[in-house]
Chains A and B, each alone.
Chain A
């Protein structure tokens, strides 16, 4: 698939930007801070409804504007579809497919599929568990859009339950066990759905990450992905919901004392082992980079096995790579129908379309 058109209105530094794009490699060249990344960030947003740079949405809106709009025209297997999304901080966002307003924004997921490589990916290996959970969940949602509902239902349930626990922390005498039971039940049901999805994704992903690592690092190492649950019993049972419920009852006192939900997939992690040592602590800078790349390449391969060729976005990563690692990416670059690449130093990429990005002005150069 490829993007034929990308339009931004009041998105980041762009008041208004309209780009006509083509299949193949497109390079956005410009010094730092000129607005290259903002362009590919918008593509990532269309694909995941999240930014790869920020968890809150207000920085996406241009200063002084009240909302941002991203419009993409996607061509997939000869079929053209347009998607529009309005990002309105503090309010529900709006979206349109082929000009028709959709009831829920997440209905646009799956129309524009993209895998984004960025310098922030190092966090996948070195960062806190939240980055790895996000990696899994974002991939789940792009592969199977219905997981967006499972994910957001789970997140909202945790939010509601935490609000109740905080309330009882302030006023313990008002604790209503039947009320808490209700949220326990909702939480455990939603937790099971999310856990099962993540586990199944992890097992299909693991061999792909190992393969990709060998290609990137240039030698074979044993790479193991291990899903770690805050409730280990949930991983070995046919009925995780019951395991979660038991854990909740066990941790009741602690939850009431702290006013937060201590049980569930929002406390899990994806442990990465490199030659049997936890990569988070032991991987060198080079190994960590190779692992991060391998995780993204494996994600790309998941789409391939699913029968789609997603848009490949390389945000400022080429310069970071030595020639060996770059070589491993080249195969994927050749394979992808469309590659959108940002760089500060112009790369020697034959047959690439070039855009010069300077102070928020984007100009095609031939």
Chain B
């Protein structure tokens, strides 16, 4: 145990996800060693993030205004909507620069074990967005695990009557990987979702 405030800092850092006691200690001593300005800047950003960041009223992504940058960007294709579990999934898809539609962040996936049902996700908001018929395709990009698949199936069912085209991200082999290192479930999924080669 360290004295007073140093231990407080280690304790607080240790509460963060992915940070164990050793990492917490390392970060604490790193902070002790750097300029006061740098620490002040970190502290300010931490406070600002709580004060300034809100969730976009349309898509549920993190935003600094009432609506996020993507929802207010007129160049974005309003006819394609990509549904993801978390804001970090938006960033992942944005990095591809392949998607030019808009997003809808559910805030999780259906998981009765954790007490999360459809009513706890932003599904009502999704249906409202789909009501005016402007969205022609809904891409479901929930995680490829049991809960993500259950959520995808649920969405596909309740969206079906609206006549919107519903698609699901393909799952399969990682690009640049070796076939022999793929686990068998992934390989099985990739076989299931194989497609004809265009010549």
Q: Are A160 and B185 in contact (CB under 8 A)?
A: no
Q: Are B149 and A145 in contact (CB under 8 A)?
A: no
Give Cα A149 to B183, complex, Å: 10
Q: Which residue of B lies closest to A190 (CB)?
A: B146
List the A side residues contacting B147 at CB < 8 Å: 160
> Given A149-B184, A160-B147, are A178 and B112 neighbors across the interface (CB < 8 Å)?
no
Q: Are B112 and A161 in contact (CB under 8 A)?
A: yes
Q: Which residue of B lies closest to A183 (CB)?
A: B150
Q: Are A146 and B184 in contact (CB under 8 A)?
A: yes
Interface size class of B (residues with CB under 8 A): 20 to 34
Q: Are A179 and B153 in contact (CB under 8 A)?
A: no
Give Cα A157 to B147, complex, Å: 9
B99 contacts chain A at the CB level, 8 A cutoff: no
Interface size class of A (residues with CB under 8 A): 20 to 34
Listed by A's residue number, 15 A-B pairs whose Cβ atoms lie within 8 Å are A107-B183, A146-B183, A149-B183, A156-B146, A160-B146, A160-B147, A174-B117, A176-B118, A178-B158, A181-B157, A182-B150, A182-B153, A185-B153, A186-B146, A186-B150
List the B side residues contacting A153 at CB < 8 Å: 146
Q: Are B184 and A163 in contact (CB under 8 A)?
A: no
Give Cα A110 to B188, complex, Å: 18
List the A side residues contacting B185 at CB < 8 Å: 146, 149
Give Cα A167 to B119, complex, Å: 13
Q: Scoring B residues 144 to 188 as 1 if CB is less than 8 Å from chain A, else 0, what string do you get? A: 001101100110011000000000000000000000000111001
A104 contacts chain B at the CB level, 8 A cutoff: yes
Residues 69-110 (chain A) with a chain B CB within 8 angstroms: 103-104, 107
Q: Are B183 and A178 in contact (CB under 8 A)?
A: no
Give Cα A186 to B145, complex, Å: 11
List the A side residues contacting B146 at CB < 8 Å: 153, 156-157, 160, 186
Residues 129-165 (chain A) with a chain B CB within 8 angstroms: 145-146, 149, 153, 156-157, 159-161, 163-164
Q: Are A186 and B118 in contact (CB under 8 A)?
A: no
List the B side residues contacting A178 at CB < 8 Å: 118, 154, 157-158
Q: Scoring A residues 166 to 197 as 1 if CB is less than 8 Å from chain B, else 0, what string do you get? A: 01000000101011011101100000000000
List the B side residues contacting A107 at CB < 8 Å: 183
B57 contacts chain A at the CB level, 8 A cutoff: no
Q: Are A160 and B150 in contact (CB under 8 A)?
A: yes
Give Cα A103 to B145, complex, Å: 15
Q: Are B153 and A186 in contact (CB under 8 A)?
A: yes
B138 contacts chain A at the CB level, 8 A cutoff: no
Q: Are A182 and B183 in contact (CB under 8 A)?
A: no
Which residues of A line the B interface, CB within 8 A?
Answer: 103-104, 107, 145-146, 149, 153, 156-157, 159-161, 163-164, 167, 174, 176, 178-179, 181-183, 185-186
Cross-chain contact of B154 among A149, A156, A161, A182 (Cβ < 8 A): A182
Give Cα A178 to B155, complex, Å: 9
Cross-chain contact of B117 among A159, A179, A185 (Cβ < 8 A): A179
Give Cα A146 to B183, complex, Å: 8
> Given A178-B154, A182-B154, are A160 and B184 neighbors across the interface (CB < 8 Å)?
no
Cross-chain contact of A179 among B110, B115, B188 (Cβ < 8 A): B110
B113 contacts chain A at the CB level, 8 A cutoff: yes
Cross-chain contact of A160 among B111, B118, B153, B158 (Cβ < 8 A): B111
Q: Scoring B residues 64 to 80 as 1 if CB is less than 8 Å from chain A, else 0, what string do you get? A: 00000000000000000
Q: Are A145 and B118 in contact (CB under 8 A)?
A: no
Give Cα A12 to B95, complex, Å: 48
Give the shortest distance, in Å, between A41 (CB) and chain B (any CB): 27
Q: Are B149 and A186 in contact (CB under 8 A)?
A: yes
Give the shortest distance, in Å, between B154 (CB) and chain A (any CB): 5
Q: Which residue of B lies closest to A167 (CB)?
A: B112
Give Cα A107 to B186, complex, Å: 13
Q: A103-B183, A160-B113 are in contact. List 7 more A-B contacts (CB 8 A).
A: A146-B183, A146-B184, A149-B184, A174-B117, A178-B118, A179-B117, A179-B154
List the A side residues contacting B119 at CB < 8 Å: 174, 176
List the A side residues contacting B149 at CB < 8 Å: 186
Residues 37-81 (chain B) with a chain A CB within 8 angstroms: none
Q: Are A182 and B117 in contact (CB under 8 A)?
A: no
List the A side residues contacting B112 at CB < 8 Å: 160-161, 163-164, 167, 183
Give Cα A148 to B111, complex, Å: 21
Q: Are B183 and A163 in contact (CB under 8 A)?
A: no
Give Cα A146 to B111, complex, Å: 24
Give the shortest distance, in Å, between B183 (CB) and chain A (any CB): 7
List the A side residues contacting B110 at CB < 8 Å: 179, 182
Most chain B beta-carbon neighbours within 10 Å: one of A176, A179, A181:
A179
